[in-house]
Structure 1
Amino acid sequence: MASEQNQAPRRLRVGIDVGGTNTDGVIIDPSESTPDKAIKAWHKTSTTPDPSDGISTAIQTMFDSAGIDASDVASVTIGTTHFVNAVVEMDSSRLAPVAVLRLCGPFSKHALPCVDWEEDLRDVVLGHYALLKGGLEVDGHLISDIDEEEIKSQCSIIKQKGLRSIVINGVFSPIDTVERQEERAAEIVKREIPNCDVVCSKEVANLGFLERENASILNAAILPFARKTISSFQKPMKTVGLNCPVFIAQNDGTVLPGAMAARLPIRTFSSGPTNSMRGAAYLVQQTLDEDIMVVDIGGTTTDVGLLQANGFPRQQAAYSDLAGVRMNFSCPDIKSIGLGGGSIIHTGEPMTIGPESTGNKLTSEAVVFGGQTLTATDFSVMSNPDLEIGNRELLQGKITSELLSNFQGLVKKRLERIIDVMKTSPGDIPVLLVGGGAVIAPHELSGASKVVKPQWSGVANAIGAAMARLSAVEDIIVSTENQTTAEARDTVTRRAIEKTVSAGADPATVEVVEVDTLPLSYVENKTRFIVRAAGDFDTSRTQNIDDSLGGQVEAENSHDETMPERALPKPSQRKGPRKQVDVNEYVPDVRNRIWYISETDVEWIATGCYILGTGGGGSPYSSKIRLRTELRKGAVIRVVDTRDIPDDAQVGCGGGAGSPTVAIEKLGGDEMLESQHELYKICDRSATHMISVEIGGANGLQSMIIGASTLMNLPAVDGDWMGRAYPTKWQTTPVVFNERTPIWAPIAMSDGNGNVVVMPKTSSDAHVERILRAAIGQMGSNVGAADAPVTGAETKRWVVERTISQSWRIGRGVAKARQENQVSNVAEAIIDQCGGPSAGRVLWKGKIVGVERNLKTGHVYGECLIQGTDVSGKEDAVDSAFRGILKIPFKNENIAAIKVPEDGRKEKQEDVLAIVPDLITVIDAQSGEAVGTPEYRYGLLVVVLGLAASDKWTSTERGIKLGGPDSFGFNHLRYTPLGTYQPPQSVIDEYDGRASGGNSDQ
């Protein structure tokens, strides 16, 4: 027989999509130029209890119908919703309980595993957790080494609970190439618990401790079911005579070999919608060149997403969300509703459609097929004489004209509503209908400029799977001490390309599709590189790709026999998601001029804090989770107005300092409180109130976190020392007033790991900044700091007032825009909450097209370039005010918004639209959330907002000098106010005595 090398190249690609109702198949010849020639065969069949039966049927039927020989097939790619459905449905028969072992030392104790999950899913998945010794600092030094006896002790508990899926998550494990703490801990666990599944978090995701852990837990929970499922997918290949690799489609539109997918099923969770959208792009590639709303109607659900003009789905921002679980995966921005061809119709008053579905039993249970259950398919057959499905005569007398009219109106209304939710602007947009259930959709929809249903739309998901590419990501922190940044980036890029080729891509087609360079602030010679490469499948290497599961499935059988019975709530007993608050109805709890903070307040304040952070200050997410946890444990969080503080009060201050990148990985321990206690050992006065050093970013919540502590139990002041975020300690309003020098001594700083720095005396506030910054680098680049209290009278003179109120109002404005599907107008809503058009304006709308970063004296300096475009992504719909390029230089925070001359000539005067101390903030055009400078990335659609700075900065020459362009090295530019500052309206003034159930969300 001729060798593989001498045979003609295999050219055909098989795509299979295994849905909850149907299994779709397609065979494509990529060498053909157009879809009508490339698609050689397709088939749709019911999904079978054993998925392998449906896959075998689909492939064999296509082979027979088109006369295709199995030897011509280069690859089979399978997409499935099985794994994500198990999570969404909280199916305890398919989700294994998980034990979580954190290697974290004294950190992360205030944000425990699954802390941000819905209770029902947490009850199903989380079986045990423990916080153990271990973890690294960002520079590679140990927080502490792992303790083998400690791990063994936990293994004993895990065995007693009958758990066999274990996640090990270490602080900064993704950069741990020397100590290998997760791997060493995994070896101990495997020795102590034979035949268990151990998931090391570093294999699942990268930096972002909670998000990586969440993804790892879901991955571990689904592992046993994933192995069985993928094994069943592979069985039909031999049955139909195929001898080629089997790939599984993953979230980003690329594929994984079967063996890797069985280890990392989390990466396939969102592949179903992605396949449909990529398939849709393939089908309309020569007819539509604009953004399209893709509506994929299956048997059970309808998934809706935006297909961009470049042929790829619109992605969620930095983080993705699945069943309420936040993860740091790149996933398509998809919304789903319970509407499909198998949806059960209840004909009472009012008529309802779903969410119950006949699923894969449609062809036996629907009336049109001889069953007894009225479904959406029955109504669609009745309303469309040309639809040849089942036996139309069986519907006679079952569906009246009135019922048919009601059905059509209800389907139309539900589709229009979900399409409207996914829009970011009110204009009409083309709608592309795909999926087997698309027959239930009308030909016209309000909000759609046109409704398109292309040929083969019923198998778009299988087409997307067949045409998926291979990709790899290299995400790593590298030392640049002995090499330039460019040299390090080139090395990381080569690794990403090599990984892509190793995965099976044709070297000639591999391209780098994403590069991010992120220097770490306050960390010497460390830069994070994120490089993604992608390429087409190399059909000449079909025999060299390992997709086998080995003995994994056999070992799995023993797991099931010993799995413990779990007393879990029945679906009817589940708590369900927490009730969503109606923004227009919510009233905060203010009594006797004290504002009692609720979970809703925390959510809105956190959103506002990040927007006021002007790109810096770090994400408030983990601080928000900590506050929410404290509330659920019974803590009382109080906020008071500065006017109500006695003149002789002692107002203390606390906040975090260091790198935002470190803060998302090394979650807080007790460093903030420890610094407070150490300060008061040398300070002659104790605090009676707490104030935040800056309202911008994570520090905006610290006065409430410290105040809510049972040891402190102090009210937080509705104000701060910046009114925004600034990178240095001397850029604070007490220093601006200069009534006594220095103001920031004594001061204490703790790293939470046993190291404390106390500065009882200093010659100037500038020395405080320089000395402490030098120490921060040796203390893990993230610390808690405490400042000596100032009097109530001083606070009233120096404070930027009511900034917690301002954050709350901004967050409420964003929440209202989302609730009313007006995210396209969220910038205007924020401006309205900050005093209206006289106090701020939209500076720019566009797409980030370039980001440069470098590190100087511990701060990340850089420049973001934003090309003007309509934020819905339509390149030809640019507002004349936003033509050209906007440049935003930053030093941790944004410094200025400068319009670059359109012809690029340097001798032309640049137009400064805004500059510090005014606030320049960038928000995600799709969500209304702030985008921090570490999150700036190519392709992100953004709105740039300018807000007038507090008069505490702008009313004096000293304030403008300390907070303005001179302080950032922009001496050649002069400050010109962009508007007139409007003092924030006090929540306490507005709502005192009006709270009747303001805390009803708790």
Structure 2
Amino acid sequence: MPSLDSRRHLRIGVDVGGTNTDGVILDPLQASSPGKGILAWHKSPTTTNPSVGINDAITAMFKSAAIHPSEVESVTIGTTHFVNAVVERDAARLSTVAVIRFCGPFSKHAPPCVDWPDDMRQMILGHYALLKGGLEVDGNLISDIDEREIKQQCDIIREKGIKSIVVNGVFSPIDTKERQEERAAAIIEANLPGCDVLCSKEIANLGFLERENAAILNASILSFARKTIRSFQAPIKRLGLHCPVFITQNDGTVLSGDMAARLPIRTFSSGPTNSMRGAAFLAQGQVSEAIMVVDIGGTTTDVGLLHANGFPRQQAAYSDLAGIRMNFSCPDIKSIGLGGGSIVRNDSGLTVGPDSVGHKLQQEAVVFGGTVTTTTDCIVQANPGLKIGDANLVKDLLTAEQLELFRSVIKNKIEKAIDKMKTSPEDIPVLLVGGGAILSPNQLKGASRVLKPEWAQVANAIGAAMARVSAVVDTVKSTESKTTAQLLEEVSKEAIAKTISAGASPTTVEVVEKETLPLQYIAHKTRFIVRAAGDFDLGETKTSSTPEAEDEEENIDDMSQYEKLARPPESSSKDHQDKEVDILNYRPAVKNRVWYISETDADWIAIGCYILGTGGGGSPYPHLVRLKQELRKGAIVRVVNPHDLADDDQIGCGGGVGSPTVGIEKLPADELLEAQEEIFKICSQPATHMISIEIGGGNGLQAMILGASTNMNLPAVDGDWMGRAYPTKWQTTPIVFNERSPIWSPIAMSDGNGNVVVMPKATSDLAVERILRAALTQMGSHTGAAESPVTGAETKRWAVEHTLSQAWRIGRGVARARKENRVDNVAESIIEECGGKGAGRVLWKGKIVGVERTLRGGYVYGECFIEGVDVRQDNDGLQQDGTYPTSFQGTIKIPFKNENIAALRVRDDGKEEQQEDVLAIVPDLITVIDAQNGEAIGTPEYRYGLLVVVLGLAASDKWTGSQRGIEIGGPAGFGIDHLKFTPLGTFVKPQSVIDEYDGISED
């Protein structure tokens, strides 16, 4: 008789959706057969207690296929329960959360949930406090946490009855000594026993707001997730299955039940990922190109792109769920509130969803004898031959006109979701899966063909059954005796071994994510994060028992507290979610030669600023949040043309100084304003206008923010002192003109934490840079600086003109490319906005395959390696002959010092080619753009696997018009003497928004 282990080879996949629980039993040894190895499948209604649906599905499959529990090697469960709670804004399943920040004076202009949709913020954020604490980039303390402050907040949280608490500290992910978030969590747990306390560093890495957002969502779902996971495990045990039970996570790999109960956010996109992986499995042999998968469930429709390699397209540096920005990797999925249980209303025009009867479809839908009109009712009326419920109950539900309108609404919703996921206007194959796929017509605009394979209705369960095994190694190693590349190779091997140990087949394991993070100002120490994944090894399957659930059987069976509440009332406050903008007809408000900035203008300018930042300058996002906050509070933000300045006007300047890595984590306090106040004390004439020191990155918005923040409400000048971003203050155009020296003296600098440096005089601008840079390293590597005003006449000679206009036009071009599904040639759109083909060119398209970073003297130095591929979605870069396009064959490297310095081809031996293989070099602009959404990727966000476009733009003639400008802003300015500057194109002066739109703006 064969051994137990030899019999144990079948896999069970279960997907617990909002409406149905789908199950499949699959024999992977028969996966290539016509039957795909699918031995049994079942679809049963999801109940408030998910264990009932799981039990029913597995029991029915065992019975129909005569399978014994001993033959099953694993049970893998996927669920949309948690993400549905967020998408539907379900207050029954989302807990109120308190947020405790350890930040000192920082981040006060961007409080928790500041960038959330109003209804979500009001539902989830119950309390927040900004307390002492946080780390500097070098690991030193901004301030220590104060136990007394924390206990005071515990009293408030107790009084408010909040049971879920997030603690988030500045730079907590590099706190390897567990000095703040963990200590604070222990204090809170001691004072609030029974509460859930979540450290933000458990959820995501650097990126303060985004990490906090993800942690808050995770905390909000914790109580529901914990009980749900237990209810998943209970029927497995009752059915006599003695095998591992896994929960699928966002990337198509699995988590243990305990880990999923602690970090349910990692399962948020597992439902659509399972459907896409299942779709890839079912479509083998039918398609060999990228396809759009449309998974129509009972509550939501999820649309995603499946690459030809069978894996979903991933979101880039930042992801978005229900209008909330986060920074952990997940598949690029568009979810809409459309499913078989979506409620159809005909009160004032026919509407479909987004709310759904969910798992109560068979009780509440009219076709089953209920009283709620759903999409299932309408589709059965339109197709009475469908064997769903009693068609006679719905034969007179809608009039012929209403039924036609219903079909049109459904079709438009699906087509719009597909349209938004495309990066090219070309048609693409569409694969329909999910139980609600009957809602979709067989022809869709934008689809070259519509496929619905056999077993499509349980594709999600198939994907769960075929989920992969993964393992992560997150460690800190010394780089003193070995290079970063050598250590990364070692850690990669360790991750592969760990994945094999977890049950993966050695021949299938591959590294799917790797990252190196130097620990700033800690000598020779780097953090390595490597994740590997592989398929289950059928011969080495672990037979550990199901994780024990807590002995709360009576509670596990009672999930009534999570019954969905009635649809929440509309938010009473003004909802500041982005509105659909008619890009082609939008006119900025320009009156009497003054440009009045709107939120749309601010959005576009921020996009353009990061692209002009050439990898540096820090993300404009937190500064955009602050600028929009000022606008919402009634601030009037004005921009004027530099040509309209009077010669005796006084043009003040200010901006952030320091590492861009710091800027994404230590959000501003009042350092910029404090520095301005100090400089005003020693200047004979106050500023009449403000100008940004650089248009690139977050500093590009500072002139507008400072102008709106000062008592005098100063207008900003449409220009700056760089036309891009540079790492040093002496790399500015006033230094190039050299009409007086020093320019940047007197100068003031504040760290926002009570420390201010003022230099009344200096011998040179180089001395100013050297001295302030030395102080900067002791002030957290990020400060606000204020320079003494220059005259209007000097500004007109020295400034790089109309760069706010240029950023606006670039942002508009990106927004338009997205709207028109032209993201695959967004770089060409940007070039067009910057003067046309002669003013720039696409330097490279490919995938980031390596990043090396180090930090010296406050600057982030490094190299980014990009392997050439065609980033279009149609064929993953391969031509018909199986090769890559010649122009992007091989690898380039981009050395950077905060900002990108050059784009260089590299030989196989890693050495640089000669001069003719320099694709571009400073002072020309080299910027890396996300190939999937058209936004810039800064040097802190470079990571393995991102698909990117490298764009080159001609530098302003303020730099290239003189040998001095080339020496200061070119290779020599970065200590690269062996490379010479050759312009990549001809600079075209940006067109002024004020000149174009004065007198013709919208009402």
State the alpha-carbon separation in 1 of the partners of residues 152 and 913 from structure 2.
Answer: 70
Alignment of 1:884 with 2:883, yes or no, is no
Deviation at 1:24, TM superposition (A): 0.3
Deviates more, 1:434-443 or 1:754-763: 754-763
1:581-631, Cα deviation, whole Å (9 max, x unpaired): 322343323333332222222111100100111222121111111111222
* Cα distance change on mapping 1:879 and 1:240 into 2, 3 Å: closer
Deviates more, 1:901-910 or 1:328-337: 901-910
1:116-158, Cα deviation, whole Å (9 max, x unpaired): 1111100011111111111112222111111111111111111
State the alpha-carbon separation in 1 of the partners of residues 379 and 558 from structure 2.
Answer: 47
State the alpha-carbon separation in 2 of the partners of residues 97 and 530 from structure 1.
Answer: 32
How many residues get paired? 992
Corresponding residue SS for 1:31: helix
* Cα distance change on mapping 1:377 and 1:960 into 2, 3 Å: same
Deviates more, 1:105-114 or 1:832-841: 832-841
Kindly indicate whether the alpha-carbon contact (under 8 Å) linking 1:655 and 1:672 is maintained by their aligned counterparts in 2: yes
State the alpha-carbon separation in 2 of the partners of residues 556 and 370 from structure 1.
Answer: 30
Kindly indicate whether the alpha-carbon contact (under 8 Å) linking 1:616 and 1:697 is maintained by their aligned counterparts in 2: yes
Alignment of 1:761 with 2:754, yes or no, is no
Corresponding residue SS for 1:731: coil
Kindly indicate whether the alpha-carbon contact (under 8 Å) linking 2:657 and 2:783 is maintained by their aligned counterparts in 1: yes
What residue is the counterpart of 2:729 in the other structure?
Answer: 729
Letter in 2 for 1:984: P
1:805-839, Cα deviation, whole Å (9 max, x unpaired): 11112112222222333323422322232223333
What residue is the counterpart of 2:600 in the other structure?
Answer: 600
Deviates more, 1:483-492 or 1:972-981: 483-492
Kindly indicate whether the alpha-carbon contact (under 8 Å) linking 2:926 and 2:951 is maintained by their aligned counterparts in 1: yes
What residue is the counterpart of 1:1000 in the other structure?
Answer: none
What residue is the counterpart of 2:197 in the other structure?
Answer: 198
Q: How does 1:235-314 map to 2 (within 5 A)?
A: 235-314=234-313
Letter in 1 for 2:160: K
* Cα distance change on mapping 1:951 and 1:99 into 2, 3 Å: same
Deviation at 1:325, TM superposition (A): 0.9
Alignment of 1:818 with 2:815, yes or no, is no
State the alpha-carbon separation in 1 of the partners of residues 361 and 573 from structure 2.
Answer: 27
* Cα distance change on mapping 1:354 and 1:157 into 2, 3 Å: closer
What residue is the counterpart of 1:17 in the other structure?
Answer: 15
State the alpha-carbon separation in 1 of the partners of residues 190 and 937 from structure 2.
Answer: 45
Deviation at 1:275, TM superposition (A): 0.8
State the alpha-carbon separation in 2 of the partners of residues 326 and 573 from structure 1.
Answer: 23
Alignment of 1:869 with 2:870, yes or no, is yes
Deviation at 1:308, TM superposition (A): 0.7
What residue is the counterpart of 2:87 in the other structure?
Answer: 88
State the alpha-carbon separation in 2 of the partners of residues 663 and 146 from structure 1.
Answer: 22
Corresponding residue SS for 1:736: helix
Letter in 1 for 2:250: N
Deviation at 1:234, TM superposition (A): 1.8
Alignment of 1:686 with 2:652, yes or no, is no
Q: How does 1:555-566 map to 2 (within 5 A)?
A: none
Deviates more, 1:375-384 or 1:278-287: 375-384
Q: How does 1:427-826 map to 2 (within 5 A)?
A: 427-474=426-473, 480=479, 484-486=483-485, 488-489=487-488, 492-493=491-492, 496=495, 500=499, 510-519=509-518, 525=524, 527-537=526-536, 542=542, 544=544, 547-550=547-550, 570-571=569-570, 577-711=577-711, 713-826=713-826
Kindly indicate whether the alpha-carbon contact (under 8 Å) linking 2:742 and 2:762 is maintained by their aligned counterparts in 1: yes
* Cα distance change on mapping 1:626 and 1:499 into 2, 3 Å: farther
Give ranges in structure 1 of 5+ residues lacking alignment: 998-1002
* Cα distance change on mapping 1:144 and 1:487 into 2, 3 Å: farther
| TM superposition score normalised by structure 1 | 0.91
* Cα distance change on mapping 1:476 and 1:104 into 2, 3 Å: farther
Alignment of 1:982 with 2:981, yes or no, is no
* Cα distance change on mapping 1:119 and 1:57 into 2, 3 Å: same
State the alpha-carbon separation in 2 of the partners of residues 959 and 711 from structure 1.
Answer: 36
* Cα distance change on mapping 1:177 and 1:944 into 2, 3 Å: closer
Kindly indicate whether the alpha-carbon contact (under 8 Å) linking 1:706 and 1:712 is maintained by their aligned counterparts in 2: no
What residue is the counterpart of 1:842 in the other structure?
Answer: 842
1:261-280, Cα deviation, whole Å (9 max, x unpaired): 11111111111111101111
* Cα distance change on mapping 1:567 and 1:298 into 2, 3 Å: closer
* Cα distance change on mapping 1:176 and 1:545 into 2, 3 Å: farther
Corresponding residue SS for 1:218: helix
Deviation at 1:727, TM superposition (A): 2.1
Kindly indicate whether the alpha-carbon contact (under 8 Å) linking 1:869 and 1:882 is maintained by their aligned counterparts in 2: no
Letter in 1 for 2:60: T
State the alpha-carbon separation in 2 of the partners of residues 331 and 772 from structure 1.
Answer: 41
Deviates more, 1:439-448 or 1:140-149: 439-448
Deviation at 1:804, TM superposition (A): 0.9
Letter in 2 for 1:194: P
State the alpha-carbon separation in 1 of the partners of residues 610 and 595 from structure 2.
Answer: 21
Kindly indicate whether the alpha-carbon contact (under 8 Å) linking 2:930 and 2:937 is maintained by their aligned counterparts in 1: yes
* Cα distance change on mapping 1:627 and 1:5 into 2, 3 Å: farther
Corresponding residue SS for 2:30: coil
* Cα distance change on mapping 1:374 and 1:570 into 2, 3 Å: closer
* Cα distance change on mapping 1:107 and 1:741 into 2, 3 Å: same
State the alpha-carbon separation in 1 of the partners of residues 549 and 784 from structure 2.
Answer: 48
State the alpha-carbon separation in 1 of the partners of residues 130 and 556 from structure 2.
Answer: 28
Deviation at 1:553, TM superposition (A): 9.1
Kindly indicate whether the alpha-carbon contact (under 8 Å) linking 1:694 and 1:700 is maintained by their aligned counterparts in 2: yes
Kindly indicate whether the alpha-carbon contact (under 8 Å) linking 1:899 and 1:911 is maintained by their aligned counterparts in 2: yes
Letter in 2 for 1:79: G
State the alpha-carbon separation in 2 of the partners of residues 935 and 227 from structure 1.
Answer: 33
Deviates more, 1:753-762 or 1:291-300: 753-762
Deviation at 1:762, TM superposition (A): 3.2
What residue is the counterpart of 1:181 in the other structure?
Answer: 180
Letter in 2 for 1:923: I
What residue is the counterpart of 2:956 in the other structure?
Answer: 950
Overall identity of the aligned pairs, in %: 66
Deviates more, 1:297-306 or 1:145-154: 297-306
Among 30, 33, 37, the residue aligned to 1:32: 30
Letter in 2 for 1:207: L
Deviation at 1:102, TM superposition (A): 0.8
State the alpha-carbon separation in 1 of the partners of residues 147 and 487 from structure 2.
Answer: 36
Letter in 2 for 1:72: E
Kindly indicate whether the alpha-carbon contact (under 8 Å) linking 2:119 and 2:571 is maintained by their aligned counterparts in 1: no
Deviates more, 1:374-383 or 1:508-517: 374-383
Letter in 2 for 1:838: G
What residue is the counterpart of 1:68 in the other structure?
Answer: 67
Letter in 1 for 2:195: C
Among 892, 895, 900, the residue aligned to 1:894: 900
Letter in 2 for 1:105: G
Deviation at 1:342, TM superposition (A): 3.5
1:860-898, Cα deviation, whole Å (9 max, x unpaired): 132432414152251234896734246253323233345
Give ranges in structure 2 of 5+ residues lacking alignment: none
Deviates more, 1:548-557 or 1:125-134: 548-557
Deviation at 1:292, TM superposition (A): 1.0
